[in-house]
C-alpha cells in the first residue's frame, strides 16, 4: 500500500512573458485553476502509474469549495480519500507563474495543510508492506512522527525533501535521515541538506553520496534534462538518463517523478527500473500544462511496456 501524507492545494496559474522579480509587475491575459499540493500531486501520479485503489492520501483541507474540489479530484483519479480530514483553516492555495520557456515560480499559502497530524493516521495503516511518501509542505514534526510509526511497523519511507525549509537545521536533517529509506531531492536540495549537517559539497553527486552514507539510505537526485542519479550507502552510484524533450511547463515534474517512483518501488521492481519510469513520466508531464493535467497513465509509458 502507498500512503501519501502531505499537502493538498488549489493552484492558480498565470502564463507570463517573464517571471517577475522583486518590485516588478507583469500582466497575464488570464489564469487557470489546477489541483496541486506536493502530497496530492504525488498521490495522483502514483495512482495513475500504480492503478486505482493502491494509493491512500492523508492530509487536511478546509470547509470550503476548494476543499470539496480537491477531494473530488483525488477520488476521480483513483486515490482513496478516507484519510483527508476537514480543518477550520482554509484549503491550501498556490500561486504559480509560468514563463515562455516553461519555467515556474511558486508561492504557497499553506492553510489547512499545517494542521495535518500524524494522529490522523490509524495504526492499522502501518504495516511491513506500507510505503509512506512524505514531502515538506506539512509540519515537519508530524511527518517525522508518521515516518517513525512506519519504521516501527517495518514499512518503507520515501521522503521528498522539498521544499527545503528556510530555517533548516542540522538536527532536523539528522532526524529525517534516521527514518528514511529513500531520500528524494533535486540538485539544490541535495547540496542544501548536506550542507546543513556540515557536509558541504561542490556538486550534487558528492552531496548525494554524503547523505546516503550519513543516513544509511539511498539518495535519489532528480536533475532535470540530466536525468536522475542514485547514491547508496555503500558508495554505489546509479545514473538514468532523461528523455530529450522541449518542455512546455515543468510544474509538477518532480512530483510526477516521486509518484511514479513510489508506484514502481511498491511493486518491488529494481531501483533502476523505478528511476527510468520516473524520468519518463516526468518528461511526459513537462509536455503539458498544469501540475496534474499532464501526468501520464501507466499505458503511456514505454518503460513499463
Specify binding-site residues for K(+).
249, 251, 285, 288, 290
Catalytic residue among 34, 80, 192, 255, which? 255
Check whether 305 has a pLDDT greater than 80: no
pLDDT of residue 139: 97
Specify binding-site residues.
9-11, 37-41, 137, 186, 222-227, 249, 251, 254-255, 285, 288, 290
Q: Tell me the pLDDT tens digit for each residue of 154-174.
A: 999 999 999 998 888 999 999
d(CA 205, CA 217): 15
Check whether 79 has a pLDDT greater than 90: yes
Distances (CA, A) of 91 to 56, 68, 115, 158: 19, 9, 11, 25
Q: Where are the domains of the chain?
A: 2-7+37-91+113-295
Does residue 69 carry a catalytic annotation? no
Q: Please give the CATH topology (third level) of the domain spanning 2-7+37-91+113-295.
A: 3.40.1190
Confidence of residue 106 (pLDDT cuts 50, 70, 90): confident
Counting Cβ atoms within 10 Å, is residue 223 exposed (0-12), middle (13-18) or buried (19+)?
middle
Specify binding-site residues for ATP.
186, 222-227, 254-255
d(CA 175, CA 125): 22
Check whether 67 has a pLDDT greater than 90: yes
Q: Tell me the pLDDT tens digit for each residue of 211-262.
A: 999 999 999 999 999 999 999 999 999 999 999 999 998 889 999 999 999 9
Amino acid at each position: 500500500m502507498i500512503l501519501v501524507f502531505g499537502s493538498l492545494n488549489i493552484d492558480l496559474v498565470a502564463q507570463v512573458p517573464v517571471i517577475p522579480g522583486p518590485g516588478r509587475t507583469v500582466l497575464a491575459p488570464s489564469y487557470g485553476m489546477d489541483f496541486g499540493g506536493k502530497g496530492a500531486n504525488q498521490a495522483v501520479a502514483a495512482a495513475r502509474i500504480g492503478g486505482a485503489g493502491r494509493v491512500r492520501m492523508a492530509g487536511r483541507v478546509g470547509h470550503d469549495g476548494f476543499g470539496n474540489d480537491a477531494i473530488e479530484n483525488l477520488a476521480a483519479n483513483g486515490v482513496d480519500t478516507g484519510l483527508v480530514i476537514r480543518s477550520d483553516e482554509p484549503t491550501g492555495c498556490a500561486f504559480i507563474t509560468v514563463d515562455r520557456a516553461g519555467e515556474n515560480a511558486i508561492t504557497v499559502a499553506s492553510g489547512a495543510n499545517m494542521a495535518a497530524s500524524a494522529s490522523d493516521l490509524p495504526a492499522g495503516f502501518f504495516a511491513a508492506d506500507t510505503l509512506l511518501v512524505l514531502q515538506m509542505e506539512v509540519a515537519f514534526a508530524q511527518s517525522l512522527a508518521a515516518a517513525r510509526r512506519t519504521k516501527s511497523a517495518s514499512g518503507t519511507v520515501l521522503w521528498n525533501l522539498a521544499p527545503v525549509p528556510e530555517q533548516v537545521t542540522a538536527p532536523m536533517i539528522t532526524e529525517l535521515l534516521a527514518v528514511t529509506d529513500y531520500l528524494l531531492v533535486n540538485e539544490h536540495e541535495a547540496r542544501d541538506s548536506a550542507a546543513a549537517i556540515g557536509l558541504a559539497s561542490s556538486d550534487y553527486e558528492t552531496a548525494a553520496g554524503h547523505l546516503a552514507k550519513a543516513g544509511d539510505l539511498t539518495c535519489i537526485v532528480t536533475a532535470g534534462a540530466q536525468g536522475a542519479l542514485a547514491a547508496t550507502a555503500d558508495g554505489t552510484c546509479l545514473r538514468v538518463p532523461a528523455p530529450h524533450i522541449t518542455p512546455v511547463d515543468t510544474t509538477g515534474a518532480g512530483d510526477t517523478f516521486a509518484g511514479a517512483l513510489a508506484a514502481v518501488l511498491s511493486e518491488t521492481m529494481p531501483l533502476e527500473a523505478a528511476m527510468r519510469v520516473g524520468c519518463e513520466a516526468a518528461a511526459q508531464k513537462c509536455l503539458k500544462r498544469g501540475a496534474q493535467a499532464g501526468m501520464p497513465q501507466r499505458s503511456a509509458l514505454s518503460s513499463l511496456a
